[in-house]
Structure formats: C-alpha cells, structure tokens
C-alpha cells in the first residue's frame, strides 16, 4: 500500500519554508501531493494556474511529489486521492491553536484521516507568504526567502526591487 500524504495550502506564493517541508516529507512518504486550495474567501496575488506553475517548477526535482489543486472540503479531496494523512507545517506556537482545531474538525469529518504536524526548519520559521508579498510589494529583497523562480514571478508582479 502506497503511503500518500496531502500537503494543502494556498501557496501564494510558495516559500523556502514550504519547500523545506515538502523535501522532508518526501523522504517519509511514497507520494506527497501538494494541493493548492481554491479558496474563494481569500484574494490571492497569484492565480491558481500561476501558483500551480510555480510549485511544479520548484518541486520538479523532488522525487515523489505531485502538484494538484482542489476546492471544497479537504477531507473530500483526501478521500478522492486515497490518502489518509494531511501534512501541516508549524512555524510558531501561534500556528498550533488554529491547526489543532482544524485537525480535530477534519478527523471528525473523516475518522481515518490523521494530521501530521511538521515543525518548519530553523532557517525558515519566520517566513510566511504574506510577509514575502509585503516585502516584495514594497520593493524589498526576497532573495533567500523564496525559490529563484518565485522571486522572478514576484518581481514581474511588483516591478523591480524583489531582487
């Protein structure tokens, strides 16, 4: 039986923290599906197609990683993919409270599903997509916070300065 894990998120944009978690997860699961959420509640900077493109580009050399998208309940997507594990990254204690509630709600909706929490790498714990967007919007340097391909896409969105 294949061990499949789903790593859901908005990935707007994908950061080095996300990549760290994906690489580490790929060592423990046969397949890691990075699932971009089509969340109508948020107003993303990048379209779903752009986010999928960026993820495919920056994960192309990581064995066992697939990029996909979904909308609706995560538990329904997990069932469709034949998975029983959802991965969530934790940067700080403040992330835990929300993730803890979500894990319990998801487990209530699909008892066979488990949430695996992974602590973000020590060098990436302060990085968030929102902070990266804010720095790029104000023409600050995001080098080292996101993969080079993503840095280029941010520079295209906001103009020079994201270098």
3-state SS string for 104-121: HHHHHHCCCCEEEEEECC
pLDDT of residue 80: 97
Structural domain includes residue 152: no
Residue range 13-38: mean pLDDT, rounded: 97
Q: What's the total number of domains in the chain?
A: 1
Tens digit of each residue's pLDDT (9 = 90 or more) over 68-121: 999 999 999 999 999 999 999 998 777 888 899 999 999 999 999 999 999 988
Catalytic residue flag (residue 18): yes
Structure pTM? Answer: 0.93
Residue 66 lies inside a defined structural domain of this protein: yes
Q: Which residue has the higher pLDDT, 39 or 125?
A: 125
Residue of 24, 28, 38, 91 marked active site: 91
Q: Please identify which of the residues 31, 51, 88, 129 carries the catalytic annotation.
A: 129
Residue 133 lies in a domain: no
Residue 142 lies in a domain: no
Is 91 an annotated catalytic residue? yes
Specify whether 42 is catalytic. Answer: yes
Query: Mean pLDDT in the chain?
Result: 93
In the set 3, 42, 80, 108, the catalytic residue is 42
Q: What is the dihedral of CA 104, 97, 19, 76, to 10 degrees?
A: 20
By residue range, what is the domain housing residue 60?
A: 4-122
CATH of the domain at 59: 3.40.50.620
């Amino acid at each position: 039986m294949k061990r499949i894990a789903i790593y859901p998120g908005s990935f707007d944009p994908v950061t080095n923290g996300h990549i760290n978690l994906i690489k580490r997860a790929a060592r423990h699961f046969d397949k890691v599906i990075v699932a971009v959420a089509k969340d109508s509640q948020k107003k993303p900077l990048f379209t779903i197609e752009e986010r999928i493109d960026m993820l495919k580009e920056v994960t192309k050399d990581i064995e066992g990683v697939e990029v996909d998208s979904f909308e609706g309940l995560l538990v329904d997507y997990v069932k469709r993919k034949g998975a029983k594990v959802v991965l969530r990254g934790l940067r700080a204690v403040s992330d835990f409270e929300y993730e803890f509630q979500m894990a319990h709600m998801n487990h209530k909706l699909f008892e066979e599903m488990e949430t695996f929490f992974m602590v973000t790498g020590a060098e990436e714990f302060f990085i968030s997509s929102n902070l990266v967007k804010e720095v790029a919007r104000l023409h600050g340097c995001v080098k080292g916070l996101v993969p080079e391909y993503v840095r280029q896409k941010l520079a295209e969105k906001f103009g020079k300065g994201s270098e």
